[in-house]
Structure 1
Amino acid sequence: MKISRLPRIKGYRVFRDFTWPEDLHGFAQFNVIYGWNGSGKTTLSSLFENLQDKRPVSDGDVVFAFDDSSRKIAGNRIAEEAVPHVRVFNRDFVARTIEAIGKSNVAPIYYLGKESIEKQKQIESLRDERQRAVKASDKAENKKRKAEKALDNFCIEKAKFIKETLLGSPDHANYDKRGFRQAVASIKASPQPRALAEEEKADFRKQKELKAKGTIPKISAPSVDIADLKTRVSLLLGRSVVSQVIADLANDPTVGAWVQQGLSLHKGERETDTCRFCGNDFSAHRRAALEAHFNDAFASFQDEAGQEIKEINRLHESFEAVAVVFPDTSRFYENLAEEAEKAISTAKEVVHEVIRVLDSLTAILKKKKANPFESVSLEAGEPNLESPGQSISAAIDAVNEIIDKHESITGNLTTEIRNAYRALEQGYVLEAVPRFDELEELAADAETTLGQVKDKPSEIKANIASLEREIREHRRPAEELNRELRAYLGRDELKFDIKETGYALSRSGQPASDLSEGERTAIAFLYFLKTLEDKDFDVSKGVVLIDDPVSSLDANALFSAFGYMKVRTKDCHQLFILTHNFSFFRQVKNWFHHMKGQGKKKLEQRPARFYSLHTTLTDGFRNAAITRIDPLLEEYESEYHFLFRQVYEVANDTTPETELSQFYGMPNIARRLIETFLAYRFPDSSGDLIKRFDRVEFDAAKKTRILRLLNTYSHSGGITEPEHDPSVLAETRDVMKAILELIQSVDAEHYSGMVNLLTPAGEDSYNG
């Protein structure tokens, strides 16, 4: 598939309103388009770039025609239609193809090829990203380290506090952060225990300080039923003895008791008829009376009352003994002392209450015994006869229960002390858990953050290594590049050396810290020609466009470059060459003229065709157009012929001037014509156009007029004026005549020869 023409280009950059002329032949296999700077070559090459990238033309109205022009594709549909494979070399390609990348300003590293440059830029970007990733990783690592250190220091601090607080505990002698962490884990693994109150802590602190104390025997409480005892006493008190009562004895119990005892001393072995007290006779009658008074009933009652009193006295002695055997509270462990003191005090009160009851019962029985003939009753209102408020057994049991605790502590003292230590440890650990959790969460967050970034540097490093491998795989050997560059430029000043993933360039043995525009273009063009051998591009089926590949090259280098290009593009399916360099154009022209079939009469049968690209001024704006090349440019070896003809035709044009825009390009043409003429006429004069003008002997006013036009409207770097003066452009035709006069004045023979070349003999319409 070949591109036959560009039927329409409207509103696209400098091509404001271009329609392919009906009389302009279509593109052939080989095509050269000649146009000066600013004529639209870059714009035209950008349209071919759209085809190359299958990128729609977003601006203006552009149409491409293919093969016999029967197939046309709008520029905005390029991506959707089948188009030929295109490769474009232009300034954009140069910019994309060779670039110095890196931070070294002394010996930069150069990279060739868009992909390699993009990958190396990715590498540079990744290196920066890796530095940031390393910093982020280091920062996260440092944050994690600090968080873990804070947690570790907290554990150490708490472990030290617990160890010092529980000094003396074998289990905590080597207590450290590991023990503290284990304790925290144990608390968190089970239902969380209740926090200790300060009072509980004080008790456990006392408990852990316990020392083994002596055994405390239990207290045996006498068995007594006060209610039953009072019942028995009440019954005795209610009994009355029946006998022949001697009133004096009955009324005086003391005397009666004395007499009764005396009577017993006068019986049995001691029996006598003499009173042992007074020595008088103890008559039988008195003995019988006394014995009647103290008969068997009396004696029986006296015996019963005596036995009851004896029993009560026994109980009294038992309780008196109990009252003095209660242990001192100092014998108890400190944590039991208070409880023991309360229980013992209560028990003593109960014992003394019992003793008081027994004393009251004894007293009332003795009174009854002394006077058995009188009935006596217990008075419930007497305080000393009230039963104690608490059971004696319950009170004694309460004391014994504390004694059991004491004994249990003694028997399990080691366990009790250990439990106290452990309870205190648990309490201290429990208080530390909230802060531990907070620090642990910070450490966990830091660990998570680190986990998110720690692998990033190595991942980026792997990506960099992968890209570097890809660049190296596609990097051409330095020897091959040097050989091609030497063949292209015709000299070997520049040399490539492999460095890292790119190349170090040297110029005449010294590092090339910068490349000239010509050198950059040459290297890029070499690379471009090499890409025509890529697997994804078949040059025999593809379209190649080359825009000014010899920028800034000298004549020798230009010739070598052309020969190099010719060899590598001669088999193109379709080739377009755009140039403003007439020397290069002449090389291409000669190549095309010597192609097989180029001499055929029918233009459509020729393999190569020639075009011009120029601009006109419309409504104050440049408008580019593709036209057939002027025959002088195609047929003659010098651009000078063409320039002379342009100036000559304007100077001799007799048609009325309609628009100044028709003269817009003439100042440039005139400048190039004069510069070329004066350069040959005065080869020993260097400098700009004004200096050469100084050597020309010609009318000063006309010279000034010529320079004024060139200063205003030409694009020379040496002739500039800030503003365009339309009135100056109106003088174009007269100035062109003045230029011809100048040439004729300086070299009449040369002038005549040029005129004869343009017109039949004798038809010079302007001869000065």
Structure 2
Amino acid sequence: MKIIKINKINNCRTFVDFAWPSSLQLFADYNLIYGWNGTGKTTIADILRDIERNKKSFSGNFEITLQNGVGKEVIKSDTLGSANTYLPDGLQIRIFNRTYIEENIFATNNGQINPIFFLGEENVEKQKLVETKTIEHKEAEKNLDALSTEKDAKNNQLEKLRTTGAKAIKDALIISSDNRYKNYNKNTFSDKIGEMVVGGKSTADYTKNDIELTELRQCFDSSPKETLSIPTITLPDLDSLYKSTISYLDKTVITAAIDSLKNNEILSTWVKQGLDIHQHKGYKDCQFCDQPLPEARIESIKGHFNDEYNCMIADITALIEKINNCISELSISFPSKVIICDHLNNSYVTACSDVQAVVETYSIFLSKLRESLQQKNSKPFQSFVFNELVPENGAAKLEEYINILNKHNSDCQKHSTITQEARKTYEESIVAGYLEEYKKFKQQIKDAEASILKTTENIKKLTEEIRKIEKEIKEHHKAAEQINADLLSYLGHEELKFVSKENGYIIHRFEKPTSIKELSEGEKTAIALLYFLKTLEDKSFMSNGIVVIDDPVCSMDDSSLFHAFAYIKEKTKNAKQLFILTHNFTFFRLVRRYFKSLERYKSKKISFYQTQCIKSSTRRISKIKKLDKLLEDYESEYHYLFQIICNTAEQEDSGNLADYYYIPNVARRVLESFFAFKNPHCQNLLRDSLTTDKFDLVKQQRILEFLHAHSHEDNIGAPEHDASILSETKEVMIAILDLIKAVDKDHFEGMEQCIKKANQSRS
């Protein structure tokens, strides 16, 4: 049975109308609640104590939710103490707070403290059980040694692999311009191969062949080169030209052909030219023989060279000209491979060769087309056959060539990124060679660790069982004797002792009964805490119960505080669920560190919270919230308070003075902490420190007056106190930050970085 949340708290002291936020994580196995005095911690502890006793002890209403193995149960304050109200079966809860101390230690019957009972007896069967478990214990220890040796061997093999892999990468890439490979070591190798394992890809996904590795090296070893102009090249449509040519070669014209001209190319050409000259100039006499031209002869020649003939000759001539243009446009100039990126050289040379072959093939074919058309042009009355096949389309070869030029330009523009990626790919290819062996070693080590953990837990269990049985067999220690031993360890002397008397204990000082009133506050707290922790071993309280400890270090000095923490840590280690509430930052820090170690090494679920109280115009209001990231991550409360000042200085003024009631106390605490380190010699930290010549004296005086007016609880609400002055809060906080920056710039900038890091972690 566990408590998972406090659903609501209405009108219980400073909790006015609290409801558990949906964004707030539920209570875990181990819970730490931090808050200044007066922020509501005691109310939370008293609510849980009411649940423990099934009795409502103060006004207001609350409701909590419990989680058991099968579901959830809700307990409401209004039903506590009624005849028909029964707490859930299995709910075991113990609360340590001031109420517990008053009711169980210092307000006792006839001056006596209630007893704590422990049972034990000698038994022959238990002795045999001890002997059996002792043999099991020795066998387990022997097995643990063997497992540890096996794990060490696998770790050594893994270490050798890491060293070998790191050297291989360093040898391969140390000559590159990337300095990180000059310091490449086994840790760097481990980070890389671990990243690749998490990526989930196979060895084949990373492995590159020799040619690819050569290209990668050329890429990251080369210097950046200039970009090139991309030529516009269009290959002629051979199919179209071929079809046009075939159509003309097969075509003949119908004319009144003159045989002497039809069969004589030279004569035909000469007569055609002559006819054109005579017609164009309008000659009536033959310009060769100076005789009148017979009209019949002229008509006969015209019939030979009719319009169909002329059109075909014109078309053929135009087609020849088109082919000539195509041949001219096939002239391509290839840039030297020297100006091409080194890693593209091989591909570029191949592409150039392919395009050159396409150009030559195209040119030869076009020349043959042109030659056949010229023959047809000279003998238009004959049909010709063209037996050449159209070459394969070279567009793909040309596109590959253009793509390489484009990639060259792209790589030139992104040279830094390309080279970096090439080095990374090269590195991953080498690491891939160790990937499977690395996975094997890691799995073997993981299996060995699991076996070691299981065996260690078994040894621990056997040890505890043997110790417990031996304790039951050999002797029966009374609770008083055990508490006295704890008191001796805790206080360092035997001045105080618990003495059994009738049905309880009384306290002796120097072997004589003493009045509880004569005890110091520190002694009272120590006795109460040790007594409470001892009750957790009471036969009426199961080890899987819920333990709540509220401010166990009040009135303790630092030495006692550490003792208290050590005892709490030891005595509550078997609790099913633990709540610790405190206002003491030193104690908070110890518990926080302990809880985090439990989460890390024992897989315990932990949660951190804080209580916060602000003032409205009429009353103080408390709430439970997630612990601020600065309090969770840093070893100083100063970080958190500094952030509050920064937030107040940066945020827009809400216009609600209630938002600012607690800010002056925060500011005073920050400045006192700051000047305590800067000016340890000052008797009055604020008065003596706020006279520095590093910052405007008027602003310093304004800060001092503001803090004196608002940072004392008894001033708020006094007749002479003007709450409206709180409207200056934002400006004063800005002035305080400027003051700290002026006095110690390095400190200020360091705090800014811490807060920035915490804010990034929150988002």
**TM-score range for the pair, normalised by the shorter chain length:** 0.3 to 0.5
How does the TM-score come out when normalised to structure 2? 0.46
Using the size of structure 1 for normalisation, the TM-score is 0.46
